[in-house]
Structure 1
Amino acid sequence: MEHILIVDGYNVIGAWPELKRLADTNLEDARDRLIEMLADYQGFSGARVILVFDAHQVPGLGGAYSQYRLDIQYTKEKETADERIERLVTQLINRRRQIHVATSDQTEQHVIFGKGALRKPARELLIELEENRKLVAARVDEQRQMSKKKNLLIGGVSTEMLQKLEQWRRGKPKS
């Protein structure tokens, strides 16, 4: 089953303390940080992530691009992020897909739930992201420890002995 996470970008920025602080001084930095965090999430979870930013007060056609393999979409003029998200859910929903929408907007949560997607409050996504980050750090640390143990074992064995062991492993006669 394919897992898709659609994220209401500015809603999440406003809900996460780190991003909210960044947005208070530089909104672009907050967007970039959110993109990085969601790229990590996508890499760990395997879910396809679609990030939607509201540009309904900005003239233009909107746009879509890919960064870190994330699908990032800006709404077109006079289109809200909620409208784009609802349209995406309608287009993507089927039996082989599980769609979550990350937003803390209660009204939007009810609408997308009615269309068949699952709700994921911004706070819940942040907690999941932090747990994933801890798991990745633990795995990296575990790999480092294993690597050190292997190196300690091999580091104390002479090259001549390693060659003899390799010959013995391969079943070759000793020379």
Structure 2
Amino acid sequence: MKHILLVDGYNMIGAWQALRQLRDTDFESARDQLVELMAEYQAAEGYRVIIVFDAYLVQGNASRYRKSGVEVIYTAKNETADEHIERLTNELKGRHVQIHVATSDMTEQNVIFGNGALRKSARELEIEVGIAKSTIDQQVKDTNETSRFSRISASPEVMEKLERMRRGLS
């Protein structure tokens, strides 16, 4: 089963405390931080992540690009992120595809349920992202701890025996 997570970008920025505080001082950095957090989440969970940002009142064409492996979409003028996400849920659904939509917008949640997608509230996704980040941080720490002692690849049992020998304990 392929999992796709559609994220209402500004909804997350407005709901997550750290991003909301950053938004108040540097809006672009808040968007970049969300993309980086979602890239870590994508790597940890294996979801295809697509973040949709509103360009509803902004001049210009829609744009789409990849950043850190995450697909980022800015909607066209006069199109809301909600409308774009609704369209994507219809376009991407399939037999072996499970679509998840991250939004705390109740109206949007009702529409995506009707399209067969599952919802994640902003708070739920924030918690999941935090857990994924902690897991990645611990894996990096464990890897650094292991590689600090040795550049050879050995099982933990062998490494323990070598460490005991080094300390004169065996």
* TM-score normalised by length of structure 2: 0.86
After TM superposition, give the deviation of residue 31 of structure 1 in Å. 0.3
Q: Tell me the distance in 2 between the aligned counterparts of 1:152 and 1:137.
A: 27
Q: Which amino acid aligns with 1:63?
A: S
Q: Which amino acid aligns with 2:23?
A: A
Q: Which amino acid aligns with 1:121?
A: S
Q: Tell me the distance in 2 between the aligned counterparts of 1:66 and 1:46.
A: 16
Helix, strand or coil for the counterpart of 1:7?
A: strand
4+ aligned runs moved over 6 Å, structure 1: none
After TM superposition, give the deviation of residue 152 of structure 1 in Å. 8.4
Q: Which amino acid aligns with 2:53?
A: F
Tell me how large the CA RMSD over aligned residues is.
Answer: 2.0
Aligned to 2:153: none
1:91 equivalent to 2:82? Answer no
Larger radius of gyration: 1
After TM superposition, give the deviation of residue 151 of structure 1 in Å. 9.0
Q: Which runs of 5+ in 2 are unaligned?
A: 150-155
Aligned to 1:114: 114
Identity of aligned residues (%): 51
Q: Tell me the distance in 1 between the aligned counterparts of 2:114 and 2:23.
A: 32
Please list the CA deviations of residues 9-60 of structure 1 after superposition, one character each: whole Å capped at 9, or x if unmatched: 0000000000000111111010010011001111111100000000010111
After TM superposition, give the deviation of residue 72 of structure 1 in Å. 0.5
1:46 equivalent to 2:46? Answer yes
Q: Which amino acid aligns with 2:45?
A: S
Q: Tell me the distance in 2 between the aligned counterparts of 1:17 and 1:152.
A: 47
Q: Tell me the distance in 2 between the aligned counterparts of 1:102 and 1:77.
A: 22
Q: Which amino acid aligns with 1:136?
A: I
Aligned to 2:135: 135
After TM superposition, give the deviation of residue 145 of structure 1 in Å. 4.0
Helix, strand or coil for the counterpart of 1:98?
A: strand
* TM-score normalised by length of structure 1: 0.84
Of 147, 153, 156, 2:162 maps to 153
Please list the CA deviations of residues 51-96 of structure 1 after superposition, one character each: whole Å capped at 9, or x if unmatched: 0000010111111011111110000010000000000000001121
Aligned to 1:28: 28
Number of positions where the alignment pairs a residue of Structure 1 with one of Structure 2 = 157
Helix, strand or coil for the counterpart of 1:84?
A: helix
